[in-house]
Amino acid sequence: MAAANDNTVKVNEVTKITPFSNSTTEFSLPLTLFDTYWLKFFPVERLFFYQISGLTPDSFNSVILPKLKHSLSLTLLHYLPVAGNLVWPEDATKPAIYYFPNDGVSLTVAESNADFDFLSGNGIRPSAEFRPLTPQLSISDDKTAVLAVQITLFPNQGFCIGISTHHSMFDGRSTVMFMKSWAHLCKQEEENPSLLPQLTPSFDRTVIKDTKGIDLVYANNWLAFTGSDSDPKNRRSEIFSNHSGCEQIDNKQNENEAKQSAQLQTFVLTLAYAFVCMVKAKGGDSNRDVIYAFKADYRSRLNPPLPMNYFGSCSGTHATIAKAGEFMKETGLAFVSEKLSHMVKEIESGLTLEGFEDKLVKLMSMMKSVQGGAQGLGVAGSIRLDVYGPDFGWWKPKKVEIVSIENTGAISLSESRDGGGRVEIGVVLEKQQMEAFASLFVDGLKS
């Protein structure tokens, strides 16, 4: 078995997967305010590890890889905008998704000699081990892809599907729906399989009523955020060539947190506990600001609610601020839990777009505070997404990771593969802080 730190990945193929029976009709898909909100955030990078003992390169290349390629092509036929690109034309007031004939999704096929069990396990692992398994979105000055895929073989162990998604097209629910659609079609034997109703995406943007033009407000917010250059064309290109975020950090850990029956309680307590451990692990000035936030899915909370198969970004951040000392007290867990619970209950009571015009500006101000020394804490993922659901015919994933949290300072959060109300979290911290976090996390559960 390869050493834990010996992850040599050989790229065997880079190709483009186009929609099956390639459409000859070009079209554009407008962005809503929720899509535009996420325009310049880091791509979300997920890894799905599938364990198949004794998997040979011959079997992988002759059976598994062709099925994955063909079913991805079939899936793109149902998800045509995903095969397109995000473009901001010079004469347009905001970007849109544009699809042209022969557009497709970049697929990288690779082979790794790393220890599959180590990478798909729990415990502390170097985040650098995951980077070679993660595809990069194709980004240029005038456009960016919204999806990239990498399939990596681990001989005799299994394979990994890595995906990078642009946040203005994919939120967590859309990502999992796409992966489940791909997996569903991969298992079908008929020539022209159909998707289940719950997996058939709706791209109808008219269901989101933005009478105040908040989408344009957000687009202009991002133009202003990219710099003070007076030429809007230059600032638009910066939106595609750069992403906002925090510095890259070093190590990764996943832990399970269990025995909570209600999803709301589970979410709040897990998040609060992880946040408290992260603040304590960092130590330092107890008077520093800590900005902590989470994302909420708005589909069922808008009035009228959106269908659950609505495809796109339909989520937003909810954040607040406190001093680090509040987290460090013995009452820190209760303090943070109460604040998070109050924020969640406000969302659950109903959601309107009142005040949303200032929402992105407030978030940008918080991002600048983090760059200035405040500690930023967020969450990627959810305990309601069923990330372990995509079964391509070789059983469900052994492990799902969100690699991109190394860029954002967020924790990853998902329901456990084994269910039972258990939760998985992922954390990326510098080595010394990770060791402190691990100790605090385990000791706190014991007490």
pLDDT tens by residue, 128-161: 999 999 999 999 878 999 999 999 999 999 999 9
Show the CA angle centred on residue 53, arms to residues 51 and 58, nearest 5°: 100
pLDDT tens by residue, 18-75: 999 866 789 999 999 999 999 999 999 999 999 999 999 999 999 999 999 999 999 9
Is 166 designated active site? no
Q: Which residue in the list 78, 166, 167, 184 is annotated as catalytic?
A: 167
pLDDT tens by residue, 243-281: 444 333 334 444 433 333 346 688 899 999 999 999 999
The answer to whether the beta carbons of residues 362 and 222 sit under 8 Å apart is no
Nearest Cα to Cα of residue 9 among 146, 175, 124, 162: 162
Distance CA 271, CA 412 (A): 10
The model's confidence at residue 446, banded by pLDDT at 50, 70 and 90, is: confident
**How far from 346 is each of 350, 351, 379, CA to CA, in Å?**
7, 8, 18
Q: Which of 80-94, 101-115, 218-232, 290-304 has the lowest mean pLDDT?
A: 218-232
Distance CA 38, CA 31 (A): 10
- β-bridge pairing 105-112 and 147-154: parallel
Burial of 428 (0-12, 13-18, 19+ CB in 10 A): buried
Q: Which residue in the list 117, 142, 289, 391 is annotated as catalytic?
A: 391
Is 117 designated active site? no
Bridge partners (DSSP) of residue 29 are 97
Tokens at 192, concatenated? 């022209």
Predicted confidence at residue 145, as pLDDT, reads: 97
Secondary structure of residue 247 in the 3-state scheme: coil
